[in-house]
Chains A and B, each alone.
Chain A
């Protein structure tokens, strides 16, 4: 099985996973920022609870799709941020490509139906 097949085998992603990875695609973020970004990206449809967010982040860390980075201290506490790994980026790109092809097929068929 080659690398691309292995990436494709992880698809489709759940909406939450996709949105978390998408949120991290623009750079490192801490938990609260991811939560707000996911809400923005989903146009308010998905509002993650902290339990769901950290459950998903834990799984993504285990799978090696994201990385946890120490960013010094804030109010005496270590500040952790999350970043997309190379593997996570490849999976996100493959999922975006899958959704794009689905969308173009749907648009084509609906346009035909309208004619």
Chain B
């Protein structure tokens, strides 16, 4: 008698249970290899015990168990793949908040200050932006506040920043649509850049908040990998270069003259004076 045979149920139910265990073992191969190696055998054992238990109670419980697993497995397989890929990517770039939580927290805070400062300075010194519709300005101001709030409340501020980051793109497009339709492509580029950087800031804060408890664990004190430090420096240089490039691209449009008051919805004539023509 094998481990999974069911006393008194040698007929079709026992066969169904055995077939279910075999099918279950095959489906488990869809899990990522690392997860399958770690937990595959155990999962088959647990499922077998559950199937034998259910089969002892009859057809109904066995069918319920199979239905439950059928609903449960696909979602968990997808989640395991997402988790595994994310982990592999983080390992590759050497990002592990558990190892150097403080420096990642300060990078998030520095980027948050940089972005909030950028948004506020645009609002204070750029006439076009000041003339912009209220909604996009509210979105950008709210995002700056979330980023600054994340300084103290990392999980809440970071989550709000992360969730709100795609609104930067919408805000930039709405602003361009109503203030300066000549520059929709540029607005999309600026909006996309802001979305990516605010999203990164939000994600860093959430990540730091999630791992701050684990920081008390056995990983603390190990030296951070050199590759990760270089990647962080490269990211900061990239952000600065991106901002510089955007200001250079935007330079020819500084001389835009709008006739007709430049109010939203007003027909206007746009003349662009390129720097060389000045």
Q: Which residues of A line the B interface, CB within 8 A? A: 1, 3, 6-7, 9-10, 30-32, 35, 47, 49-55, 57-59, 63-64, 75, 77, 80, 87, 91
Contact = CB atoms under 8 A, between A and B. Distances in A.
A30 B46 CA distance: 9
B69 A49 contact: yes
B80 interface: yes
Interface in B63-118: 68-69, 71-73, 75-77, 79-80, 83
B45 interface: yes
B37 to A, nearest CB: 12
A1 B49 contact: no
A99 B83 CA distance: 30
B61 to A, nearest CB: 11
Contacts of B155: 9
A49 B216 contact: no
Given A6-B216, A31-B43, A50-B72, 4 more contacts: A32-B45, A58-B83, A77-B45, A87-B213
A30 B29 CA distance: 22
Given A6-B216, A35-B46, A55 B69 contact: no
A13 B50 CA distance: 27
Interface of B: 3, 35, 38-39, 41-43, 45-47, 49-50, 68-69, 71-73, 75-77, 79-80, 83, 155, 209, 212-218
A6 B46 contact: no
Contact of B43 (A47, A50, A75): A50
B3 A51 contact: no
Given A6-B212, A50-B43, A58-B39, A87 B69 contact: no
Nearest to A91: B213
Given A9-B155, A57-B39, A50 B47 contact: yes
Nearest to B39: A54
B204 to A, nearest CB: 16
20 contacts: A6-B212, A6-B213, A9-B209, A9-B212, A10-B213, A30-B46, A32-B45, A32-B46, A35-B46, A35-B50, A47-B68, A50-B50, A51-B43, A53-B46, A54-B76, A58-B35, A63-B214, A64-B217, A77-B41, A77-B45
Contact of A87 (B46, B79, B217): B217
A9 B75 CA distance: 27
A32 B45 CA distance: 8
A55 B71 contact: no
A51 B75 CA distance: 9
Contacts of A51: 43, 69, 72-73, 75-77
Nearest to A53: B46
A3 B49 CA distance: 40
A58 B72 contact: no
Contacts of B72: 49-52
Contacts of B71: 49
A1 B216 CA distance: 11
Contacts of B83: 58-59
Contact of A9 (B3, B42, B77, B213): B213
B43 A55 contact: no
A32 B215 CA distance: 31
B256 to A, nearest CB: 48
A55 B155 CA distance: 23
User: Residue among A50, A55, A57 with the most chain B CB within 10 A?
Assistant: A50
Nearest to B73: A51
Contacts of A55: 76, 79-80
Nearest to A78: B41
